[in-house]
Amino acid sequence: MDKRTEFIQTKSSSISTESSDSAQSAVSRPRVVIVGGGFAGIHAAKGLAKLPVDVTLIDRRNYHLFQPLLYQVALAVLSPADIAQPIRTILRHQKNVEVLMDEVVGIDSRERRLTLGSGATQDYDYLVLATGVGDSYFGRDEWASLAPGLKTIEDATEIRRRVLLAFELAERQMVEHGWHPSLNFVVIGAGATGVELAGAISDIARLYMRHDFRHIDPAKARVLLIEGSDKVLGAYPADLSAKAEDMLRKLGVEVHTGQLITGVGPGWVEVEGKNGRARIDAAVTLWAAGVKASPLGKLLGAPVDRRGCVQVDNKLNPPGLPEVFVLGDLAHLEQDGRLIPGVAQPAMQMGDHVANMLAADFAGETRPAFRYFDKGDMATIGRMAAVARVAWPFKAHWSGFPAWITWITVHIFFLIGYRNRIAVFAAWIWTYFTFTRAARLITGDQSLPGWKEHVTAGPPELRLISVESLIAGGKPARSGGKAGGHGPKTLPNETDGGPGPLHLGTGDERDSKSQVMPNRQFTHRKPQMMEKSPHSRI
C-alpha cells in the first residue's frame, strides 16, 4: 500500500468515525464514490445525506460551476466567482461526505477501484460517475486553440479576453494606421450556447461599448453565426427556432445556416454550403458546435455512443454493472424513443434518483426506474429576449420579454448559494440599467490568432487589389471588380446594404491560392471604419 493510498484510507475511516452512527456500524457502511461535482454529482451527494453510507466526492476542481451562466462571464456581465461555489462549502454540513480534489484517471470495475491523477487509488462499493462532457472538434483538435469553446471558467475568461482585446487592438491600429482589420466575430454552432454567445457579443458591441472608444465604432463589428443544419436552436420546436433566428437578425447577428465548417485557421474560418466553399476573416472565432463525453465513460469499459456517452438502462446502470451509476451529460439514456437531453434538469433528477435506488437496495426492494420529468427549455437572445418551451406546470411556447423574465427567475432560483444569487441579481440590475459591464477585464496574453497576419497583409481593399492582380496575371484590378469566373468573392457587409447571404467560391479555387494570400477571398468591398482620418470618431 503506498503512502497516498494509506492517506485516503485513513481519512475515509476517520470520516466514518465522525458520523452520527456508532464507529462499528460506520466501518461496515458501504462507500459511495461520486466522481464529478456538477449538477448530477452534487444532487447525488445531497440525496445520500440520510442513508447509511459514507460518500467520497472527487472532482478535479474545487468548485461546482453553474454552466448556464458561463456565457455571461465570457461577455463580462458576471465574474467567475458569481457562478461558482466551492464544493466543500456546498457540502460542509453533510457529515457523511468527504470531498477530494483530484482527477480520476483510471477505473478498474472488476476490482471496484479508481486510480487518481495524484497516484492514489480509491475503492468503492458503489460508483457514481458524473463527469459530464467537453467540446468536440470532430477530430480536428488543432482548432481548439484557434476557436475556444465554452465549458469552463478558463474558457469563459479566454473568450472574454479575445472579444475585448479585438476592440482594443482595432482602436490602437486605427490610431496608428487609420484602418484596422475587419472586426468579425464568428460563432460556430447555433445551439443554445452559440445563440447566447452571438446575441451577447452583438449587445456588447452595439450597446455596452458604444461610448468607450474614440477611433472605432464598436457597433460596426459584425457577428456571424454559422450553423451546419438548416435552423438555429435545432432541438427547439420550429416556431421557437424561427423566432430565435428573427430576434438574432434584429440584433444585427448574421445567421448563416446550412454551412459546414471545413477549416479554422488563425484569423479565418472556412465554410462549405450548397454553393461551394467560402473563407471568412475572423478577428475572434468561437466554438459551440459539438460535445464529446468525458473519457471516463470509455475507461469504464461499458458500451458508449458515438459521443462517448455511456449507454445506461432506466436504473442508470451500464450493462452488467449494477453497482455503477452513470448520470447527467455522460449518460446516454432514451425515454419514449428519444434521447434525454444533456441539460441541467435531467442531471439533477438523475442525481436525486441515486438515493432512491440505494434506499431500495438497503430495504431489499427492487430499484425504482428513473423517469425524466421534462419542465422545458430556454435560451436567451441578447439583452432582453429569450425563447422558452414551457412543459410544466402547463404547456406553452414563449418568446421575447416574458420568456426572458422566466429565464431570469429560473436561473436565480437554481443558482447554488445565497451569495451567488444576490451577486448575480445585483450584477444584472446594474448591467441592464446602466449599460455598463463590471467585469470587462482583459487578463493574460495581448495577442489574437491571425491579427498580426491581417495587419501585415494591409487593409482589405489593398489586399483585394493585389490578389486580383495575381489572378489577372499582374494587372491590378479595381476593388469589387470582376475577374471572370475566378475573381475574389465578397462577403457583403452593411456598406453593401445590410447583411446578406454568403457568396461562395469554389473549393478548387480556394485551395490552390490560399497559400499565396490567406483571407483574400472574402474581403469587404469597402472596409469598415476606413473612411475617416485616424483621429476622427466614426
Residues near ligand FAD, by CB under 6 A: 35-41, 58-61, 67-68, 70-71, 103-104, 130-132, 150-151, 192-193, 294, 296, 328-330, 342-345, 347
Q: What is the C-alpha separation between 424 and 453, in angstroms, rounded?
A: 39
Q: Tell me how far apart the alpha carbons of residues 146 and 450 are, in angstroms, rounded to a whole number.
A: 9
Closest separation between CB of residue 153 and ligand FAD, Å? 10
What single-letter DSSP state applies at residue 485?
B
Give φ, ψ of 350 to 5 degrees. -65, -40
Of 37 and 218, nearer to ligand FAD (C-beta) is 37
Short-list 308, 357, 314, CA closest to 330 = 308
Nearer to ligand FAD, 384 or 517 (CB): 384
Quote the least distance from Cβ 307 to ligand FAD, whole Å.
13
Least CB distance from residue 247 to ligand FAD, whole Å? 16
Q: Largest Cα–Cα distance in the chain?
A: 91
d(CA 492, CA 82): 40
Question: Which residue type is seen at 401?
Answer: F
Size (the chain), residues? 538
Please pick, among 196, 245, 270, 509, the residue that the annotation labels catalytic: 196
Is 196 part of the annotated catalytic residue set? yes
Nearer to ligand FAD, 70 or 186 (CB): 70
| Shorter beta-carbon distance to ligand FAD: residue 40 or 224 | 40
Mode of pairing for the β-strands spanning 396-400 and 291-293: unpaired
Nearer to ligand FAD, 37 or 252 (CB): 37
CB of 375 to ligand FAD, least distance (A): 10
CA distance 504 to 499: 15
Query: CB of 444: closest distance to ligand FAD in angstroms?
Result: 20
Please provide residue 277's backbone torsions phi and psi, each rounded to the nearest 5 degrees.
-110, 155
Instruction: Give the C-alpha separation, 397 to 394, whole Å.
Output: 10
Taking a C-beta distance cutoff of 8 angstroms, is the pair 103, 117 a contact?
yes
- Bridge-based pairing of strands 54-59 and 63-65 is unpaired
Q: CA-to-CA distance for 519 and 282, rounded, in angstroms?
A: 9
Minimum distance, C-beta of residue 43 to ligand FAD, in the bound complex (Å): 8
- Among 232, 164, 158, 142, which Cα is nearest to 194's? 232
Residue closer to ligand FAD (CB basis): 157 or 345: 345
Closest to 459 in 3D by CA, of 162, 166, 173:
173
Annotated catalytic sites, by residue? Answer: 196
